[in-house]
Amino acid sequence: MKRHLISAADLSRDDALLILDTAEELAQVSQRSIKKLPTLRGRTVVNLFFEDSTRTRISFEAAAKRLSADVINFSAKGSSVSKGESLKDTALTLQAMGADAVVIRHGASGAPHRLAEWVDGSIVNAGDGTHEHPTQALLDAFSMRRRLGPLDGRRVTIVGDVLHSRVARSNVLLLATLGAEVTLVAPPTLLPVSVGSWPCEISYDLDAVLPKSDVVMMLRVQRERMNAAFFPSAREYSRRYGLDRDRLGRMPDHAVVMHPGPMNRGMEIAAEVADSPRSTIVEQVTNGVTIRMAVLYLLLGGAELEGGAQ
């Protein structure tokens, strides 16, 4: 393992499998009456959230607390950050506090990389702009593996606003590392022009891809995108790229439906699909805590890791 988890590309296949296997063991802890382990006693984890994301922050907070770490929540709203303090000054504050790990959510792509230049602790990227969200990809892979077994050769279809999705970027990288075959489905306007260089297939036709998918992951599509002419209307988007009951019926019986949340019910996913037994959406939340425990344990649970590769 490297010292930071900023991109899914930071993880080798062995690293990724170690995290998933560790999470598999830690999943038991969530079933116990005492859900706490003493492992990170005396370690400090700072949740540095420049964007509102209650669910991700709570997930990291629960994970750190179950490992007995001290958790400091530092949210940008109402703090010195909203009064114009720079990321660097915030970093120096965290450094002075002796944070062992900083979990950062930031609206700017690359903010975690910058932070890693300025603080000594491990940096965990909890979502940066339109770049990456590696723990989301890990929990998605974990959820898939629990439903379907090993991911080698499994066909995963990711549908929606890939261009602006940090979840899609991390998933493509991690799933390729784990041997899955990824297909991205989106209107061409919502794919990066360079997507051909990514380790995945591209399709504009959801109906053609569904019958050969083991997993269909729906991405959130923001309605505002249609104002920038990415697609003409919510109705047209939903018709061409939304997952409704008919399309669910075209998926193989064993295939599962995923969504990183928050969902636009009726837009990219029909309510009855989101709530169907084929959907892993509720498990994804539970698995989020488990996978983040695994990540925090592997980054902080041993001797300090050297910079770069161990």
Partner 1 sequence: MTAYLIKGASILGGDPADLLLSGGVIAAVGVGLTAPAGAETVDAEGLVALPGLVDLHTHLREPGREDAETVETGTRAAALGGFTAVHAMANTSPVADTAGVVEQVWRLGQEAGHCDVRPVGAVTVGLAGERLAELGAMADSAARVRVFSDDGKCVSDAVLMRRALEYVKAFDGVIAQHAQEPRLTEDAQMNEGAVSGRLGLTGWPAVAEEAIIARDCLLAAHVGSRLHVCHVSTAGSVEIIRWAKSKGWNVTAEVTPHHLLLTDDLVEASSLGAYNPIFKVNPPLRTREDVEALRAALADGTIDVVATDHAPHPVEDKETEWGAAAMGMIGLETALPVVQLAMIETGLLDWAGVAERMSATPARIGRLSGHGAPLQSGSAANLTLVDPAARTVVDPRASASKSRNTPYEGLTLPGKVVATFLRGRPTVLEGKLA
Partner 2 sequence: MSDARPRPATRGPSEPGSTTSSPSVANVSRAVLEGPDIHRALTRIAHEILERTKGAQDVVLLGIPTRGVTLARRIGERVARFEGVQIPAGSIDITMYRDDLRLRPARPLGRTELPPDGIDGKIVVLVDDVLFSGRTVRAALDALGDIGRPRAVQLATLVDRGHRELPIRADYVGKNLPTAMSEKVKVFLAETDGRDAVVLIKEGDAK
Annotated binding site for L-aspartate: 83, 166, 220
Q: How far apart are CA 171 and CA 219, in angstroms?
A: 11
Interhelix angle for 166-177 vs 13-31, to 10°? 110
Q: Which of 68, 95, 109, 276 binds partner 1 (CB under 8 A)?
A: 109
Residue 66 bears catalytic tag: no
Q: Is 31 in the site for partner 1 (CB under 8 A)?
A: no
Angle (CA) 254-256-262 rounded to 5° is 170
Q: Which residue has the tokens 């991911």?
A: 151
Q: How many CB atoms lie within 10 A of CB 180?
A: 24
With contact defined as beta carbons under 8 Å apart, do 151 and 145 qualify?
yes
Chosen residue from 70, 73, 110, 244 binding partner 1 by CB under 8 A: 110
Distances (CA, A) of 7 to 23, 131, 291: 19, 9, 15
Stretch in the footprint of partner 1 (CB under 8 A) among 21-29, 66-74, 100-108, 249-257: 100-108
Q: Figure out which of the listed residues 193, 224, 227, 308 binds partner 1, where binding follows CB under 8 A.
A: 193
Q: Spot the catalytic one: 57, 66, 133, 259.
A: 133
In the complex with partner 1, the residue whose CB is nearer, 186 or 210, is 186
Nearer to partner 2, 1 or 159 (CB): 1
Is 83 marked active-site? yes
| Residues in CB range of 7: below 8 A, 6 or more apart | 125, 131, 132, 134, 170, 173
Stretch that binds partner 1, among 113-121, 175-183, 265-273, 288-296 (CB under 8 A): 113-121
Closer of 32 and 83 to partner 2 (Cβ)? 32
CA angle 4, 127, 269 (to 5 degrees): 140
DSSP 8-state assignment for residue 101: E
Active site residue 278: no
Residues at the site binding partner 1, with contacts judged by CB under 8 A: 86-88, 106-111, 113-114, 116-117, 128-132, 166, 169, 192-195, 197-198
Residues at the site binding partner 2, with contacts judged by CB under 8 A: 1, 18, 21-22, 25-26, 28, 32, 34, 36-39, 67, 297-305, 310
